[in-house]
Structure 1
Amino acid sequence: MKKSVFKAGALFALIPFLSSCGDQADSTVAHTSLQKEPVEYVWPWLDSANSRWFYFNSATRPFGLVNLSPDTELEGTWGSGYRYNTLEVKGFNHVHAWQLSGLSVMPVSSREPLEVLKGDYFSPFSHQDEIVAAGYHKLSLQRFNIDVELTSTTRVGFHRYQYGDNEQRQVLLDLQGNFGPSALRKGSFFQVDANTFQGHVINEPTVRRPRPTPVFFHIELDTPVSGIKESAGEILLTLEQGTKPVLMKVGISYVDEAGAANNVRAELPHWDFDKTVAESRQEWNSWLSKISVTGGSEQDKTRFYTDLFHALQGRRIVSDVDGRYSDQTSEQRKVKQIPLDESGTPKFTHHNSDSFWGAQWTIQTLWPLAYPKVASNFVNSMLLMYQDGGYIPRGPSGGNYTHVMTGASSTPFIVSAYMKGIRDFDIELAYEGLRKNHLPGGTMGRAGYEHDSAYSGGLEHYINDGYVPYPLPKKNEAFHQDGAGQTLEYAFQDWTLAQLALELGKTDDADYFGKRSKNYTNLFDVETGFIRPRDTSGNWLTDFDPYDYRIGFVESNSSQMTWFVPHDYSGLSELMGGKEQAALKLNQAFETASESGFTSGSSHDEEGLAQNRRIPINYGNQPSIQTAFIFNELGKPHLTQHWSREVIKAVYSDVSEKQGFNGDEDQGLMGSLSVLMKIGLFQLDGGTGRDAIYQIGSPIFDKIEISLDDHYYPGKTFKIETINNSDRNRYVQSITLNGEPLDRFYLTHDEIVSGGLLLLEMGETPNI
């Protein structure tokens, strides 16, 4: 492990005292060396050399509307934001979200006129004097001799700038230009009083987010402003001279300036920067402590809690503290209100979210288990959009529909929550919206980013012919028109809706969607043993190669996605000649994939390269990340134990700036997957079955304790303990649940949330 891994952890205990170090700091270090908290293991630099706009997190809270951090690259959705290998700060943006950016600010010290400075205000910095931690970031702008510290509440960014003695003290606000996925233009800017300013920027439409989306701000400074200059969307605030640090609060809102101001009043009524840092640390520690692990190396724990940190990021709150939110589901933006409880508090939070594509094996399992209120918030947020715009979304952005990726990926998420007893939402309304999504005109029929029609997803073909053809007769310029992959997704999603229909007593619907869930069988080619695309006439794709990338399969190939039948591995194995033959085939795929480290390169932008794309299992993207646990269903649990450990070692163990997720970390999906694999619990169908089954894997820790939320579950904690556990002793020899022998490699959701102890005796050889 790199030394720098422990740099942040060791210094984190000192963060509240960085400006006033003394004897108290020494005692804090001594205490930390004896007792390290989960938050101290978080290392935000992980994989930051491969960052995309919304990837990197430092000065933010769990799911925080504000995600404040330095930007070292500005252009494009990919390769932007904080990139570890670019040592030049180009501003500090308050919003790093799916398809959205916000107000960028930069403290400067210059005698240049604004017309000159605005085109040249970037500054080099060094990692040597940089500190990053959960909720905090510090670095030095070398060009201007300014120390910058950042922290936040949920909706307010908090800045502390220490300027050099006798240096000009200025803050540059950049209200227009390209920032990650968005081109910003100035909406407004005005002064409220000597120290207070308000305004908004507008995120111009993108291919993915179709409507212009405003982000409002409210700025308060603790230092009087002596001068204001403006030039084409750049605002330069000159502050009165002095030696004390300058403090600045920036409230953000998607609603209006009044909402931004109210967010500041409610969340940050004081000017105590160190207190806010400490509170952020405390909040992060509380969330991360929901899963406690013992054993393993320091690197194991660093990676584990950094992965869990990522699982609580990205899909950000977009509602104000008072529950107002921006509805962008129609052409005219509307301000609306989340229902309030008896105390006047919003009943839930409204959220952005990248697609739920792949969520069934990641956040859909982790959140309901450890954070059921989060799952509830997201369900209610999606139902709010259904009431506003007529569709349950599959990836909302600032109140917009984006129709990101394919299928009806929200269906398994909502069904899973209900099956796990998270029922503080209107299930009849949910079913109505989900059913609509699965029928012509609904979300399932829309291909990637198909905003104004609903036919390029090929749903009518799927219903009438039993599969989505490839190629689909040209419809429009929508993305991901990959018929075989779409067929597999639709079939699984249909099955999940059928399970909910059964649970609700809607037997006709259960029969209809249950039959549709068998459509995957229409694309299984017995001759090749793979799912194979067919055209509109029913002909198999000629010159078929199961390793061809994106030839009828969404961000994958046939070898990877043939296994995308989470609801019917018995049926799939029958098509392959039985479970024994299916296990042999899958094991060979893992043997081959191991030669490439189970991923298509070390970052998502390498996935399509010729030397990387021909891989049968890819743990760097979502379509085949369930495969190690399929062996449990095929009667070979020792292979689940073996290959899940091998994947963890190869893909999810590194702690470095250059590697970490080796692919597409879509807003916590890969972080969640890593956490689940390391605690040895996994749901092949995402918990959408009526028993909500968890597969048992091979935990890497000696003890794992999951705190259960008593608002949803009867138990207090669920513990997993291992005996004789090591990398060598990775095979489960015996299982007991609450002292009773267990002769199966799965648990039900009810068994877990009732609380108790799962004891696994481990050994060096398989026990089959």
Structure 2
Amino acid sequence: MFSVDQIDTRTGTASTYEFSHGNTLPLTGVPFGMNYLSVQTTQADTPWWFDPHQTAFAGLRITHQPSPWIGDYQHVLFTPLSGDGFAETPLLTYDPKAATFAPHLLHLTEQGQQIAMTATAGLTGGAIRLHSLTGTTLRLRITSPKSAYVNTENNVITLTTSNFSGSEDPDFTMWLTLTVPEGQPLPTVEAAGTDATDLVFTTATAEVRFATSFLSAQQGKLNLSRLAQFSFDDLVAVHREAWQTHFDQIEVSDHHADRENLFYANFYRALLFPMRFYEEDAKGAPQHYDTTSKTVRPGKLFTNIGFWDTYKSSFPLYTLLMPAQYHDFLEGCLNSFKETGFLPRWLSPDERGMMPGTMVDAVIADAAVKGQAQDLMPQFLEAMIHGAETISHDPKYGREGLAEYLELGYVPAEIHESVNKTLDYAYSDWLISVVATSLGKTEIAAKYAKRSENWRNVFDPSVKLMHSKDKAGHFTPGFDDLAWGNGFTEGGAWQSSFAVYEDLPGLIEATGGKDAFVENLHKMVNQPAVYHVGSYGGTIHEMRELAAQPFGQLAISNQPSFHLPYLFAIASDSHSTELVVKQLLLHAFSTAPEGYPGDEDNGSMASWVLWSGLGFYPVTPGSGKYVLGVPFFDHVAIHLPNGNTLTLTTPNNHDALNFVGERTLNGKPLNGPFISHAALEAGGEMRTTLQLLG
């Protein structure tokens, strides 16, 4: 059984503005927590505040940052200091190789002052333990931009912080409450400069409990009180078990060194987002802060999630492994709709309006087609139709360019990212038809199924790729299949032209049939990995990441390309899918700080690794089907929430064997490119033998 203690959370953290190996952070907490703890290795005001190779550190940080491109909010820094303190907070020193970065535990030693610092975090709070190795007294400096010390009452210290990259509420606040365990002397509270407060201890060993709340100081104290029954070691054990319970749901064994670790390191990443944005009152009822109305409301809410990134990989994983949690996520989406008037696109903490499309539609339809959250579907159908028909005057909400889409059947080139928006809207129209069908609304289903054919309006048969079209109905001149932008999002024609998830048979036919389609795919992966900056006007990090991988224009470094390797199989060329997926798994991913080929993005790329390693992938969320690939592990046992177990066995799993020879399900041949969600839920054994030649 794989232990959570084997995970090092620094996978993918060696990233910069110029090049991403994941743009991840080493986060410690519990799955889908409200806060995470991390190590901050710089004093600079930057969203790239952790460097895995840096020996300097500023302290431990409470963070809510989902991505450096989004930024953090309500972040707080805990810095360990000797009892005499410092007028200015120093940049401290630690040995990264000797530190522990685990999902449930952080431990490091500040070398200059010889202070050991250990921390753990749960849903709304956690604990920090300090120990002076030289016997000196201690202090813990708490620093946060735009923070204020409130008071000390009944041994509970309360501070507020109000720093964030963006929010509908300009006064959005977090309450931080702190105390020490019973029997430990209460520290003295001293002002330590602007936005900094010191907790001064009289001992060489000290422990601080902390909790946060987005609702009130009183709720913060309630959250803190829930930690009182646990010792520090008990808290560590509870938080460890929260991860281990999920890890035990999938048992992976493999004879290759570090391959099990690759799976669980990515499983850890897949369980971090979305983050919880609700708290339980004294009776256990969920309540959350609505930044739109600036009031506390009942119900669940989640945040720090971009649906454009995650709808195609991580959310389908949750439907298989944790449908009850998935229902909670959907409740949060519905509450977001009720409070803003639109379904969410990119939340942190509220709507940021990033990326095209309303891809939460896929999260909803995928539940509908799998028979989940049926109680919510009538309200969701209303919300989805509202988003498809209502023009928002705030570009953060709804579909940008909707008026033109409704009039022309496509978003014209005069509007930014026009091709991707057209394709996303057409897919969302089909997703509306899926939900409508599940509710027996045949007329609505027919209307939006017909409208989903709008992808054809931006398909250019002369180049067999998508091409931006102006308001007059003409394809824009000077088409360049290697140019980025020009109607496309974070890519060009090769990366985005195959985003017709709802009608891949139609796309194959429009390309000239299966042979022509496969030829186009081979052209994509076998040409040089070069790019032209196009309308971006300069090189962005995604361009560099494309060029760094020897897979032509595939660009597995970004979400639009996740399904591309599986399109060969849909067009009856399964061996090419197997070859590309196997080579990607072998060469593009690892558990190192440089472990991802591009932005990991809220569990999305990690989930691609999980799905692809299991041997199938959800190309079209909302269809209830998966496309078969190639298994990467010797043996996997998935313990499903319905009580069934799905066992995946690959007896001759060797790196040199790239192709599937035979695949059976419960002893019967499994032919064709697809397997249904129902078949996976039924459990049993999928047995795959590999072969050398395709």
**Same fold at TM > 0.5:** yes
Measured after TM superposition, the shift of residue 155 of structure 1 is 1.3
Q: Which residue of 1 aligns with 2:26?
A: 57
8 Å Cα contact 2:663/2:688 also seen in 1: yes
Q: Deviations over 1:65-92 (max 9, x none)?
A: 1201111136566422x22123221232
Q: Which residue of 2 aligns with 1:107?
A: 80
In the alignment, does 2:625 pair up with 1:656?
no
Equivalent pairs, count? 670
Aligned AA (2:333): M
Q: Residue 346 of structure 2: SS of its match in structure 1?
A: coil
Q: Which residue of 2 aligns with 1:734?
A: 662
8 Å Cα contact 1:54/1:314 also seen in 2: no
Alpha carbons of 1:51 and 1:678: their partners in 2 closer, same or farther (altered >3 Å)?
farther
Q: Which residue of 2 aligns with 1:238?
A: 200
Aligned AA (1:471): E
Q: Which residue of 2 aligns with 1:765?
A: 693
Aligned AA (2:248): S
In the alignment, does 2:6 pair up with 1:37?
no
In the alignment, does 2:297 pair up with 1:336?
yes
Aligned AA (1:572): L
Q: Deviations over 1:496-553 (max 9, x none)?
A: 1111112212222212211221111111112222101112222222222111112211
Distance in 2 (CA, whole Å) between partners of 1:54 and 1:216 is 28
* Larger RCO, structure (CA 8 Å, separation 6 or more): 2
Distance in 1 (CA, whole Å) between partners of 2:23 and 2:65 is 5
Aligned AA (1:617): L
Q: Residue 173 of structure 2: SS of its match in structure 1?
A: strand
8 Å Cα contact 1:125/1:142 also seen in 2: yes
Q: Which residue of 1 aligns with 2:683?
A: 755
In the alignment, does 2:125 pair up with 1:189?
no
In the alignment, does 2:37 pair up with 1:68?
yes
Q: Which residue of 2 aligns with 1:22?
A: none
In the alignment, does 2:634 pair up with 1:702?
yes
Q: Which residue of 1 aligns with 2:289?
A: 327
Which residue, 361, 366, 377 being the options, matches 1:427? Answer: 377
Distance in 2 (CA, whole Å) between partners of 1:212 and 1:165 is 43
Q: Residue 392 of structure 1: SS of its match in structure 2?
A: coil
8 Å Cα contact 2:114/2:134 also seen in 1: no
**Identity of counterpart residues, as a percentage?**
21
8 Å Cα contact 1:229/1:237 also seen in 2: no
Alpha carbons of 1:130 and 1:92: their partners in 2 closer, same or farther (altered >3 Å)?
same
Alpha carbons of 1:73 and 1:537: their partners in 2 closer, same or farther (altered >3 Å)?
farther
Distance in 2 (CA, whole Å) between partners of 1:611 and 1:572 is 24
TM-score normalised per structure 1:
0.83
RMSD of aligned alpha carbons: 2.5
8 Å Cα contact 2:172/2:291 also seen in 1: no
Which residue, 538, 557, 574 being the options, matches 2:473? Answer: 538
Q: Deviations over 1:319-360 (max 9, x none)?
A: 113344433352x4111122xxxxxxxxxx521132111323
Which residue, 91, 94, 109 being the options, matches 2:59? Answer: 91
Q: Residue 358 of structure 2: SS of its match in structure 1?
A: coil
Aligned AA (1:174): T
Alpha carbons of 1:759 and 1:112: their partners in 2 closer, same or farther (altered >3 Å)?
closer
In the alignment, does 2:602 pair up with 1:667?
yes
Aligned AA (1:517): S
Aligned AA (2:100): I
- After TM superposition, the structure 1 = structure 2 runs for residues 12-27 of structure 1, keeping only pairs within 5 Å, are none
Distance in 1 (CA, whole Å) between partners of 2:135 and 2:248 is 45
Distance in 2 (CA, whole Å) between partners of 1:549 and 1:123 is 43
Measured after TM superposition, the shift of residue 304 of structure 1 is 0.9
Q: Deviations over 1:451-487 (max 9, x none)?
A: 4x767x2111111111111122xxxxxxxx2101111
Measured after TM superposition, the shift of residue 232 of structure 1 is 2.5
8 Å Cα contact 2:74/2:173 also seen in 1: no
Give structure 2 stretches of 5+ with no counterpart.
Answer: 67-71, 532-538
Measured after TM superposition, the shift of residue 677 of structure 1 is 0.4
Distance in 1 (CA, whole Å) between partners of 2:583 and 2:542 is 20
Alpha carbons of 1:291 and 1:593: their partners in 2 closer, same or farther (altered >3 Å)?
farther
Aligned AA (2:112): R
Alpha carbons of 1:91 and 1:314: their partners in 2 closer, same or farther (altered >3 Å)?
farther
8 Å Cα contact 2:288/2:301 also seen in 1: no
8 Å Cα contact 2:588/2:597 also seen in 1: yes
8 Å Cα contact 2:309/2:601 also seen in 1: no
8 Å Cα contact 1:55/1:314 also seen in 2: no
Give structure 1 stretches of 5+ with no counterpart.
Answer: 1-35, 177-184, 339-348, 473-480, 597-603
Of residues 536-545 and 627-636 in structure 1, the stretch that sits farther from structure 2 once superposed is 536-545
Distance in 2 (CA, whole Å) between partners of 1:522 and 1:557 is 17
Q: Which residue of 1 aligns with 2:211?
A: 251
In the alignment, does 2:317 pair up with 1:366?
yes
Which residue, 401, 404, 424 being the options, matches 1:458? Answer: 401
8 Å Cα contact 2:160/2:174 also seen in 1: yes
Measured after TM superposition, the shift of residue 189 of structure 1 is 2.3
Distance in 1 (CA, whole Å) between partners of 2:583 and 2:476 is 34
Which residue, 284, 293, 296 being the options, matches 2:252? Answer: 293
Distance in 2 (CA, whole Å) between partners of 1:622 and 1:485 is 13
Q: Deviations over 1:81-128 (max 9, x none)?
A: x22123221232222333423322212126356xx32xx322121113
Alpha carbons of 1:279 and 1:146: their partners in 2 closer, same or farther (altered >3 Å)?
same
